A and B are shown apart, each in its own frame.
Chain A
Amino acid sequence: MSAGSIKQGALSKGVLVLVYAFLYIPIITLVVFSFNESKLVTLWSGFSLKWYYAVLHDKEIINGFWLSLKVAFFTATASVVLGTFAAVALTRYKRFAGRTMFSGMVSAPLVMPEVIVGLSLLLTMVTIQKWLGYPERGMMTIWMGHTLLGMAYATVVIQSRLTEMDKSLEEAAMDLGSKPLQVFGLITLPLIAQSLMSAWLLTFTLSLDDVVLSMFLSGPGSTTLPIVIFSRARLGLNPEVNAVAAVTIAAVSAFVIFGSIYMARAEKKKQREISAAFREANQ
């Protein structure tokens, strides 16, 4: 190992550790102080679970949580369905009328500031409501807005997997007698299943976490959890929020960690099988 690469190794470790610390210290403080006895975030006065009890009895938070969960579920499902359609259209059909505009519309919500999306959707809902008397602002409208955003993310994830997939697999299926719909159901879908799952989880999380769109599109009685948290956070520090945060972080971490371990194991198993086949053939 040359002196240069030792220096680079130390630099590499240093940078990585510092940035990870930057990313995680706030998260850790959230969790630690959720167990704090005192209301003050800054003074540790003892271990206590009282804020967790408080959350469980806080009607506003519980209602908001259930609403967010419902909206997120429907958002994720709709986003994946629409995203699959869009991804297939963009990867398998090279040319159709208005393709550039379609591609632009699909990916724009990814970067658009949410205030713009929120405002325009709200104005649209109001206009449509004047003509048709529907929809009322509430869970439905929040779902529509979230799905617009979710669809953009889902399309990116699914599209990436579709372009990577060997196109000749679909041709082979057709060659062997499958009609296009069968090809999609028997071949394409199983092979992109994992990316569909990722897209679902991603859009679920996005919806659960969304503040701006929800605020623009919510109506009386449809307050999502992030709206509740935002209003309280605006007023000041609130240890109940810490408790909510800790639970969220624990759930997400468990999910991400176990998911990654599972995927890593599956990948390792596959690699072992490939090398076994290779060795066997060369005997």
Chain B
Amino acid sequence: MAETISKEKQEKQNAAAPFLRIQNLVKDFDGVLAVNDVTVTINKGEIFALLGSSGCGKSTLLRMLAGFETPTAGKIQLNDLDISRIEPYKRPINMMFQSYALFPHMTVWDNIAFGLRRDGMSATDVSSRVESMLELVQLKNYGKRKPHQLSGGQQQRVALARSLAKRPQLLLLDEPLAALDKKLRERTQLELVNIIEQVGVTCVMVTHDQEEAMTMASRIAVMSEGRILQIGRPSEIYETPNCRFVADFIGSVNLFKGKVSVDESDHVIIDTPECQHYVGHGITGTKGMEVSVAIRPEKIRITQNKPDKPHNWVQGIIKEMAYLGSYTVYHIKLPSGKVIKATTANAERLPDWQPTWDDQVYASWDEYAMVVLTQ
């Protein structure tokens, strides 16, 4: 899950210019609040991901941006223009559909030219724009083909070209890679980002795949039950989740429930049934408060011998392990019955010691590895 920040991206992030403002947006379907008071500002030029499992409201939110659903309450402003109730064909927004929605009775060329012709563009202009689009997605000689004569990956590129042809102010992607198989997906993720950045269009994408969101987006909003739980850069969401749901949704996490026993400005100590956690920074909380301590599996080190410190370690037995090539996953059962998950990179081909089933081991982590969650 490498976060590739190109220089252009970095610059754009620094010059954060609010472009799409969503304010207190609500969508009510017969008493079910699919989107429940969502407020978020998206900056010009960024790729913004709405991440969540099915039913969390992300698709409804996207459809309201596109104009296929009317908000029950709230406002959507694109570059200071209130577009909340404008019809989809009048918005300067284009969408790439999950099923691609390529018109089967038209050629690739006509598909891409479709939107341009609705605008009354002259034939020569249409021609040059379509050509440049085909070149952008590397399908230069495929203009005469019909959608069923293309492979899945090629269809996706046509769909992308079609949605960018009108140079929209906002590009919407609905689960863009869901229809592709894994190998193709990895390749396409980066290609897609390159094209979008090349064009420089602001982009909102919807996905349930956290890896996709973290690879492609510069900022992510995690959604659940119609609400946004956290917005931030991929590293922020991963390393500093603001609640248990987000911590658990992104990647795997070990959660320890306990009470704050020492609360100082530069460190806190939290007592949990399994062990005592020494967190090397202050938290906004009070002594005696009930909290959860979240530790990512890769932050846990497994050793044969007992660690030489009073906090931040547990003892247990390896109940399950899975060798996955670049890393190994261990499920360690603690005396209390709790099972924690630890992953270790297989940095050496032939290591001196390799834990195996039913070994008794020690799992430890350092004082900055934890995130303290109050929700």
Query: Are A and B close enough to touch in the complex, i.e. CB under 8 Å?
Result: yes
Q: How many interface contacts (CB-CB < 8 Å) are there between A and B?
A: 76
Smallest Cβ distance from B346 to chain A, in angstroms?
Answer: 32
CA distance A155 to B68 in the complex (A): 26
B42-101 at interface with A (beta carbon < 8 Å): 66-68, 87-89, 93-95, 97-99, 101
CA distance A276 to B154 in the complex (A): 13
B374 at the interface (CB under 8 A from A): no
Q: Is the CB of B118 within 8 A of A168?
A: no
- Chain B, residue nearest A276 (CB): B149
B19 at the interface (CB under 8 A from A): no
Smallest Cβ distance from B91 to chain A, in angstroms?
Answer: 8
A281 at the interface (CB under 8 A from B): yes
A230-283 at interface with B (beta carbon < 8 Å): 270, 273-274, 276-278, 280-282
CA distance A176 to B95 in the complex (A): 8
B119 at the interface (CB under 8 A from A): yes
A116 at the interface (CB under 8 A from B): no
Known A169-B101, A169-B103; judge A175-B151 contact (CB<8 A). Answer: no
CA distance A182 to B68 in the complex (A): 17
Q: Is the CB of A281 within 8 A of B66?
A: no
A172 at the interface (CB under 8 A from B): yes
- Contact code string B153-177 (vs A, CB < 8 Å = 1, else 0): 1100000001100100000000000
A163-188 at interface with B (beta carbon < 8 Å): 166, 168-169, 171-179, 182, 186-187
Q: Is the CB of A175 within 8 A of B148?
A: no
Known A176-B118, A177-B166, A182-B118; judge A171-B151 contact (CB<8 A). Answer: no
Q: Is the CB of B94 within 8 A of A176?
A: yes
B115 at the interface (CB under 8 A from A): yes
B17 at the interface (CB under 8 A from A): no
B104 at the interface (CB under 8 A from A): yes
Q: Is the CB of A175 within 8 A of B94?
A: yes
A191 at the interface (CB under 8 A from B): yes
CA distance A73 to B162 in the complex (A): 41
By the criterion of a CB under 8 Å from any partner CB, how many residues of chain A are at the interface? 26
Smallest Cβ distance from A182 to chain B, in angstroms?
Answer: 7
Smallest Cβ distance from A88 to chain B, in angstroms?
Answer: 18
CA distance A191 to B162 in the complex (A): 20
A190 at the interface (CB under 8 A from B): yes
Q: Is the CB of A277 within 8 A of B148?
A: yes
CA distance A270 to B147 in the complex (A): 11
Q: Is the CB of B148 within 8 A of A273?
A: yes
CA distance A187 to B13 in the complex (A): 40
- Chain A, residue nearest B172 (CB): A175
Q: Inside 8 A of B87's CB, which chain A residues have their CB?
A: 174
Interface residues of B (CB under 8 A from A): 66-68, 87-89, 93-95, 97-99, 101, 103-105, 114-115, 118-119, 146, 148-154, 162-163, 166
Can you report 16 residue pairs joining A to B where beta carbons are below 8 Å apart?
A168-B101, A171-B88, A171-B95, A171-B101, A172-B95, A172-B97, A174-B89, A176-B89, A176-B118, A177-B166, A178-B114, A190-B105, A191-B105, A276-B149, A281-B151, A281-B154
Which A-B residue pairs are the 5 nearest by beta carbons? A281-B151, A176-B115, A177-B118, A172-B101, A168-B101
